[in-house]
Structure 1
Amino acid sequence: MSDNSAVAAKRPHGIETQRSILLAAGRVFSRMAYSEARLKDIAEVGQISQGSIYFHFGNKDDVARAVLNAQTERMKLVMDEATSGEATGLDKLLSLFVSISELISEDVLVQGGIQLAMQAETGLTTESSAPYREWIALAEALINEGIGDGSVHPIADSRTTAEALTQLCIGTQAVSRLEDEWRSLPDRMAKQSAIIRRLLTGGQ
């Protein structure tokens, strides 16, 4: 982000313009391959000038990085909300998966970030993998919390289990994306959660 855009971002109009650019970029990146997407496409979707995109963000890489950062922030907020309170470790874990699925189905910025993360040619490996590393770490912590409070059957390797569950959820995301652009994801994840509950409680 340029020095000029940092100043503009503090002004109400600048904040709204940056928001419009990010939403437009999310829509474009969620529907087009990164290599094919152009700033012109983002400008047309957002009904803004390319010059405004350059002013507020810079080139396409900078816009993509901003989308990924926004995805990380929004997913972290949902993670924090889903895992707060006095619920058991298992209930927090299932709430985490369902809440993230609802976010993905509704938030075009998160959708754009997910699609960017699946494309190696973006060159943004560190940024794109951050939400998933956090997701796995949080899932592992909740599994261990569940073992401690008795809601989860003792597991020899909670890290591997957390990775497997996260991969299951990512696979569900991918299927939902292909089938109906994530609209069915919350329902799919609710059904997966029932299976996860049985697996983690030893079939109880």
Structure 2
Amino acid sequence: MGESAPLRRVVIVDDHGIFRAGLKAEMAGRVEVVGEGQDVETAIAAVRGTRPEVVLLDVHLPGGTGGGGAEVVRACRDLTEVRFLAISVSDQAEDVVSVIRAGARGYVTKTISTADLAESVEAVATGDAVFSPRLAGFVLDAFGTGAVEDVRDEELDRLSAREVEVMRLIARGYTYREIAGELFISIKTVETHVSKVLRKLQLSSRHELTRWAEQRRIV
């Protein structure tokens, strides 16, 4: 009998230690976890320090300049041998599009089974693109001839993933208090995010922000 193929070398990036530990345990014997990261800075360091074949990357990460997982991908673009597979609880179009635009090769949600995730890692390692079924349409829309071509890349790219979340809820008519409850953050933090969004998009009011989001169909 021939020797089995070596396991794919993987870095796991997520800001929740329990999730990283659980994923590492679930994937034992399927991949070789060579590093971990919990925020933008530690993720970049782990990827550069270990040069894995695949990075399992959460989209919403603290640290850096607020760009989350997409910021990690952009910071490691020169490592052409490293491929990124986003794995997130979010199935929102802007999260999918932002990380794929940055250079990730796939995007799956955390509801994926261990077996399917292992297959996805292998597929991405060999150069294929992998998406959870309902997310593929977002990518086709964004990079084909689809519904989100009205979104101006340079404007959305100014916002962090958290700022986009706050913007969407503002546009849906949520109060600051309701947003704070929805996102488990303080009202003061909501106010800070809104101020940053208005400044980055050069808007002057909540009404203008709502109209901006509606025009781009990201409400």
Q: TM-score range by the shorter chain?
A: under 0.3
Q: What's the TM-score once normalised by structure 2's chain length?
A: 0.26
Per the normalisation by structure 1, the TM-score is: 0.27
Higher relative contact order (CA 8 A, sep 6+): 1
Higher strand residue share: 2
Name the one with the larger helix percent. Answer: 1
